[in-house]
Structure 1
Amino acid sequence: MNENSAFTDPYDSLAALFRALSHPARLAILEVLREGEACVCHIETLLGLRQAYVSQQLMLLRQSRLVSMRRQGWNVFYYISDPRVFEVLDQARAMLPAPLPPLPRTPASQCTCPKCRIAPQMQ
Structure 2
Amino acid sequence: MSTPLYQLKAEFFKTLGHPARIRVLELLSEREHAVAEMLPEVGIEPAHLSQQLAVLRRANLVVTRKEGSNVYYSLTSPHVAELLRVARTILSGVLSNQAELLADLRSSPGERGRSA
TM-score, scaled to structure 2: 0.72
| 2:56 matches 1:56 | no
| 2:96 matches 1:90 | no
Asked whether the 8 Å contact 1:30–1:80 carries over to 2, the reply is yes
What CA deviation, in whole Å up to 9, does each residue of 1:35-61 have, x standing for no partner?
211111110022222111111101000
Task: State the partner residue of 2:25.
Answer: 30
Q: Paired residue for 2:65, among 46, 61, 70?
A: 70
Asked whether the 8 Å contact 1:16–1:64 carries over to 2, the reply is no
Q: Determine what percentage of the aligned residue pairs are the same residue.
A: 41
Instruction: Indicate the structure (1 or 2) with the bigger Cα radius of gyration.
Output: 2
Asked whether the 8 Å contact 1:34–1:80 carries over to 2, the reply is yes
SS at match of 1:65: coil
What CA deviation, in whole Å up to 9, does each residue of 1:50-105 have, x standing for no partner?
1111111010001111100001111110000011012211111111116xxxxxxx
SS at match of 2:7: helix
Unaligned runs of 5+ in 1: 99-123
Q: CA deviation at 1:28?
A: 0.4
Provide runs of 4+ in structure 1 moved above 3 Å: none
Q: CA deviation at 1:17?
A: 1.4
SS at match of 2:66: strand
Choose between structure 1 and 2 for higher RCO, CA contacts under 8 A separated by at least 6 residues.
1
Q: CA deviation at 1:12?
A: 2.7
Task: State the partner residue of 2:10.
Answer: 15
1:64 alignment partner AA: A
Task: State the partner residue of 1:101.
Answer: none
1:57 alignment partner AA: Q
Alignment partners' CA distance in 2, 1:47 and 1:88: 19
Q: CA deviation at 1:20?
A: 1.1
Q: Paired residue for 2:40, among 41, 45, 57?
A: 45
